[in-house]
Amino acid sequence: MAKNDLQGTLDLLVLKTLAHAGTLHGYGIVLHIQRASDELLRVEEGSLYPALHRMEQTGWIASEWAMTETNRKAKYYKLTAQGRRQLQQAEESFDQLVKGVRAVLRYA
Amino acid sequence: MPLLRRIANLFRRPRLEREIEAEMLAHIEMRVADNLAAGMSREEARRDALVRFGNRLATKERTAAQDAALGLESVARDLRYALRQLGRSPGFAATAIVILALGIGASTAIFSAVNPILFEPLPYPHANRILTIWDTFRGERLETTFGTYFELLERSRSFEALAAFEPWQPVITGAERPERPDGQSVTASYFRVLGVSPAIGRDFQPADDVFRGPRVVILSDRFWRKRFAADRGILGRQIKLDDDNYTVIGVMPLGFEDAFIPSAGIWAPMQYDSSTLNDFNTWAWGHHLRMAGRLRPGVDIDQARSELDQIASHPQPQFPRPAWASMQSGSLVDSLQGDMVRGVKPTLLAVLGAVTLLLVIACVNVTSLLLGRGVLRQSEFAMRATLGAARSRLIRQLLTESVLLALLGGGLGLAVAFAGIKALVALGPPGLPRVDAIALDAPVFCFAFALAALVGIAAGLIPALQTPRVNLQSGLQQGARTTTGSSQWTRRTLVVSEVALALMLLIAAGLLFRSMQRLLSVDPGFSTDHVLTMQVQTAGHKFDDLVSAPGAGNAVRRRFFAQALEEVRKIPGVTAAGFTSVLPLSNDPSWVSLYGAHFEGDPPDRRHQVFRYAVSPGYCEALGIPLIRGRFIDARDVAGAPHVALISESLARRQFAGQDAIGKRVHFARAEVPDFTIVGIVGNIRQSSLALDEPDAVYLSTGQTWFADDTLSLVVRAHGDAAALAPAVRDAIWRIDKDQPVLRVVTMSKLRDISVAQRRFVLILFEAFSLVALVLAATGIYGLLASSVAERTREIGVRTALGASRADILALVVGQGLKLALVGLLLGVGGAMLAGRAIATLLFGVTGLDPTTYAGVTVLLLFVSAVACLVPARRAASIDPMQALRNE
């Protein structure tokens, strides 16, 4: 359960990043998450890749190889229509989770 | 489709891993570059990048696993779940699997058997260019004469090769028991017509096929292996056939099939003397040859037909024709394939139609079964959807279940098909062509499997597709009792169509059954019990008619048969014995015994077609043909005595109405043969088949016919078991001459069974199919009612609470089921009439609208339906109203 939630959170972060940035390679996603969270969220960089590949197989994101601005080959990811829908759902259920957890914390 | 992509990825694993490696490497290098830009030393930048990235090897493994294995893992999970689901309702699973297996297996077996016979091209190059050519007699096909063949060969231009041929069974003597392999006597062009040349040695040349030409033979691969142990030095070897030495000049390739005599193992040139064609009194003008030709490229069958008609209607003086081979009604030309399947085509098409119906019924049944199950599981799906299962996930789950069912059904179906093919070949009636070519037909199996699986999958998916549309709350609240009206309606339609289709099959089977009953009750005109029959042949130069002593061979032959008969009669247990030239209900070709007879009092040019039998004294007694008036042929009627004849009752009645036939005269075609005086009238018998009433027959004495047949059938009547006498009878004949072959040893009752074998074959198949159809229809009704009762528990509870009696409830449910059965019956009657018309050629003694059959089948179907209704009805009647209502 807990593992699923964390995984779900990482998925949400990746989807949101891609929704914001359009197309991005894995390194760029890591940088964006760090920057956007004010360095609060620091993922082990390698652990991003199984998640990216899983989401691609599920059909939420698509990938293609392209050149970076420093002329290096990298794999770029972008959101699919299905991924966009998933993002919306995930955001909603994350809000619910946060609200629920907050409420419990306040109650206690 | 993610699942497929993942499975595909499994096979591209090395490439995939290289790609992941490259992706990760790019990540690390970008981090190193950024670190350098931030002012780290080269080594520091690198170490930091690697630490931030974490365990590279483990990450690579996990990433690759996401691409491939996760998909499979989830397939395995789905599969396990599906198995558990099926295991939870074993009755449903077993029923669905068995229905699928029967539908797939039976149709595959039948199509596999029928395909090589009716549809597959014959195993010859350009087989569609091979034609068969027959003479005609009153619209029926008749073997041709050498004279006709010779004229067509000289005059026709449509054919690349034209061949004549006839069966030939040479005796191979010398071994302890004479053997008689099947073979053909052929013109030199025979194998060129078929388009196959020997694998070893050479084909026949025109020089081989001349009068008194070299005695040469070509062997089949099978015969060569069996008799000569595949000796490659066989060419030039001499083998002794019919007392003569023949040189082997070739061996046909492995797998070569002689379409005309599949068992043929040996072929020799025919060697007719074409210079004697002006004399009509020779064998060259007897109707005993088959003819086939290979069309020239670019010539089609219609062109060949019109050319042959043209030749037939324009005789030329250098090709004289006798009256009986005048070609005045042309020839019958057919493709080789059409010719071969002529006798069995209606049978096979009927069986094909029946099995197609069965496959449709099976598909309908599985659909209705899966629909019913889907309804029952709707609450399960509603529950899972509420708990967050995606619709695609549910569809995948159901798909897995359906595919699993289809695979299990298909696997079992494959076994059914193999067993079915084996049974078909074993059951197959004699005369079924190309039996050796029958094998499991993979495309047909795939087709039947795909059809049944698709139907199953489509039906299985319906509940999943409906799930999101169902209001989840109501789905959960009403539990298993919920149903959508449309699905019930669909299932009713399916059950009705099942009943209708089953009725069609049952009526067809019923008509065939009645035909068989009628046929077996036909009195053949003689008694088939306690009678043993066998063919006794004569072979060797001792029977030759020499120019120096004409008729000497005939005399030797007659003496052998007479002595053999004497010897057989001495065997204890034999009560009567006699020879005949043609045995009723056997495969003796009827044309050899059809003669034109001229009776006393007929107009001079009038000829009456009759069966002419040459029989020895004792024959009628042995077979049990009753004597109506006069006397049988007996020991008096030898060569020198006055020529006598027996006629059948039918002839006596028609030819000599109001007069006494005894003492009247009958004459046969040839001028030099004297008249025969009628001395007895015997009962009518069935000659070629129980189904054919062609009783006109004349019996002459074997001692008084104009030539002695070289093959006669011996008929022995026994006290007890006739079959047990066979060895004793054979030994008795061989005591007279050990070199004479004794063949086709079989009891008369067995011959009678064989003569109806093709009908029995069709009947057994139809009975089996219609039985399955009946059970399936009953299952359909039962399944529908059972789920309907389960759904209506509350309603029934209310009815009971309001005072409905047990009988009322029973009547309610049974009535619901019988209503469906009745609608199906009404619809099915129309189809059954069509089915009856389709199999009209297979019927005997009943019409396609036989009221007894219709009544019987209707009662049977209603009875079985009522039984199928009764079980759910009793469950409904035993519903406790308190329990039913409290459960709400």
Go through chain B and tell me how many residues it has. 888
- DSSP assignment string, B542-566: GGPPPSSSTTHHHHHHHHHHHHHHH
Distance CA B221, CA B200 (A): 10
Nearest-neighbour CA in chain A from B377: distance (Å): 27
Which of B165-179, B551-565, B795-809 bottoms out in mean pLDDT, i.e. has the lowest? Answer: B165-179
Among B14-23, B28-37, B134-143, B871-880, name the most confident range. Answer: B28-37
Compute the average pLDDT of residues B478-482. Answer: 46
- Closest Cβ opposite residue A70 in set B33, B52, B71: B33
Of the CA atoms within 13 Å of residue B808, those in its CB half-sphere come to 11
Confidence of residue B682 (pLDDT cuts 50, 70, 90): very high
What pLDDT does residue B131 have? 95
Task: Supply B839's token pair.
Answer: 């199999």
Q: Which of B633, B755, B730 has its CA nearest to residue B682? A: B633
Give residue A83's Cα distance to chain centre. 11
Cα B635 from Cα B566, distance rounded (Å): 12
How far the first Cα of chain A sits from its last, in Å, is: 22
Tokens encoding B754: 């064989």
Question: Which of B27, B35, B60 to mutate: most A Cβ within 10 Å?
Answer: B27
What does the pLDDT average to over B454-460? 74
Which residue on chain B is closest to A69 by alpha carbon? B30
The pLDDT of residue B208: 94
| Helical segments of B55-212, H only | 56-67, 69-88, 90-114, 146-155, 190-194
pLDDT at position A3:
36
Q: Classify B500 as helix, strand or coil.
A: helix
- pTM of the full structure: 0.73
Out of A45, A58, A75, the one facing B54 most closely (by C-beta) is: A45
Q: What is the pLDDT of residues B832-880, one digit of tens each?
A: 999 998 888 889 989 989 999 999 999 999 999 999 898 888 888 888 8
Residue type at position B469: R
Nearest Cα neighbor of B263 from B180, B174, B344 is B180
Decide if B24 contacts B56 (C-beta within 8 A): yes
Q: Which residues of B touch A7 (CB under 8 A)?
A: none
Residue B8 binned pLDDT confidence (cut-offs 50, 70, 90): low
CB-nearest partner of B66 from A46, A57, A74: A57
pLDDT (0 to 100) of residue B447: 78
Predicted confidence at residue B657, as pLDDT, reads: 86
User: One-letter amino acid identity for B461?
Assistant: L
> What separation, in Å, do the N-terminal and C-terminal C-alpha atoms of chain B show?
43
Instruction: Look at residue B175 in the predicted model and tell me its pLDDT.
Output: 57
Report the distance separating Cα B185 and Cα B183, nearest Å.
Answer: 7
Contact A46 B53 (CB under 8 A): yes
Say if residue B481's pLDDT is above 50: no
Highest mean predicted confidence (pLDDT) among B187-191, B351-355, B517-521, B688-692: B187-191
Q: Inter-axis angle of helices B485-520 and B345-376, to 10 degrees?
A: 150
How far is the C-alpha of B645 from the C-alpha of B599, rounded, in Å?
A: 12
pLDDT at B277 over 70: yes
pLDDT (mean) for A78-89? 89
Please say if the pLDDT value at position B732 is more than 90: yes
Tokens found for residue B249 = 């000049």
Which of the listed ranges A85-89, B120-124, B305-309, B710-714 does the model predict with the highest average pLDDT?
B305-309
Percent over 70 (pLDDT), chain B: 91
Q: What's the whole-number mean pLDDT along residues A59-77?
A: 89
Residue B354 has pLDDT above 50, yes or no: yes
pLDDT surpassing 50 at residue B169: yes
- pLDDT band per the 50, 70, 90 thresholds, residue B385: low
CB contact (8 A) between residue A57 and residue B26: no
Band the pLDDT of B5: cuts 50, 70, 90: low
CA angle B135, B136, B141 (to 5 degrees): 90
Per-residue pLDDT of A14-39, as tens digits, reads 999 999 988 999 999 998 988 888 88
B454 in contact with A, Cβ within 8 Å: no
> What's the confidence (pLDDT) of residue B463?
63
Q: Which pLDDT score is estimated for B71? A: 54
pLDDT at B95 over 60: yes
Residues in contact with B418: Cβ distance below 8 Å, sequence separation at least 6, in sequence order: B440
pLDDT at position B186 over 90: yes
Question: Which pLDDT does position A1 carry in this prediction?
Answer: 32
Residues 6+ apart with CB under 8 A from B472: B382, B385, B386
Average the pLDDT over B752-778 and give the result: 89
**At a CB cut-off of 8 Å and minimum separation 6, what does B755 contact?**
B585, B689, B690
Query: Higher pLDDT residue, B791 or B52?
Result: B52
Contact state of B24 with A73 under an 8 Å Cβ cutoff: no
B781, B824 contact by CB (below 8 A): no
pLDDT, one tens digit per residue, over B596-620 is 888 888 887 777 888 889 999 999 9
Residues B396-420 have pLDDT tens digits of 777 788 888 888 888 898 899 889 8
In the predicted model, what is the mean pLDDT of residues B481-502?
77
B671-701 burial code (b ≥16 CB/10 A, e <16): eeeeebebbbbbbbbbbbbbbeebbbbbbbb
Residue B339 has pLDDT above 80, yes or no: yes
- Residue given tokens 């306690």 in the structure block: B530
Q: Which amino acid does the sequence have at A91?
A: E
For B49, which residue in chain A has the nearest alpha carbon?
Answer: A45
Alpha-carbon distance B787 to B370, whole Å? 12
| pLDDT reported for residue A108 | 63
Smallest CA-to-CA distance from B705 within B661, B651, B668, B740 is with B668
Coil vs helix vs strand at B667: strand
> Using CA atoms, how far apart are residues B105 and B366, in angstroms rounded to an integer?
15
Report the C-alpha gap between B406 and B398 in whole angstroms: 12
In a mutagenesis test of the A interface, which of B5, B63, B73 is the best target, namely the one with the most A β-carbons within 10 Å?
B63
CA B339/CA B331 separation, integer angstroms: 13
Question: Could you tell me what percent of chain B has a pLDDT over 90?
Answer: 38
Measure in Å the smallest separation between the Cα of A54 and chain B Cα atoms.
5
Asked if the model's pLDDT at residue A101 lies above 60, the reply is yes
DSSP line for B116-142: IIIISPPSSTTGGGEEEEEEEETTEEE
Q: What is the H or E stretch that residue A58 is in? A: helix A48-58
Given a cut of 50, is residue B654 above it in pLDDT? yes
Interchain proximity B52–A45, CB inside 8 Å: yes
CA-CA distance, B53 to B354, in Å (whole number)? 69
Q: Are B158 and B304 in contact (CB under 8 A)?
A: yes
- Cβ neighbours for B886, distance < 8 A, ≥ 6 positions apart: none
**Average model confidence (pLDDT) across chain B:** 85
Type of residue found at B528: T
Reported ipTM: the value is 0.90
Contact between residue B506 and residue B770 where contact means Cβ atoms under 8 Å apart: yes
Would you say residue B486 has pLDDT above 70?
A: no
Using alpha carbons, select from B220, B221, B250 the residue that is nearest to residue B235: B250
- Which B-chain residues 42-101 have CB contacts (< 8 A) with chain A? 52-56, 58-59, 62-63, 65-67, 70-71
The reply to whether B559 touches chain A by the CB within 8 Å rule is: no
Residue whose C-alpha is closest to residue B186's, from B212, B206, B171: B206
Task: Classify strands B594-599 and B665-668 as parallel, antiparallel or unpaired.
Answer: antiparallel
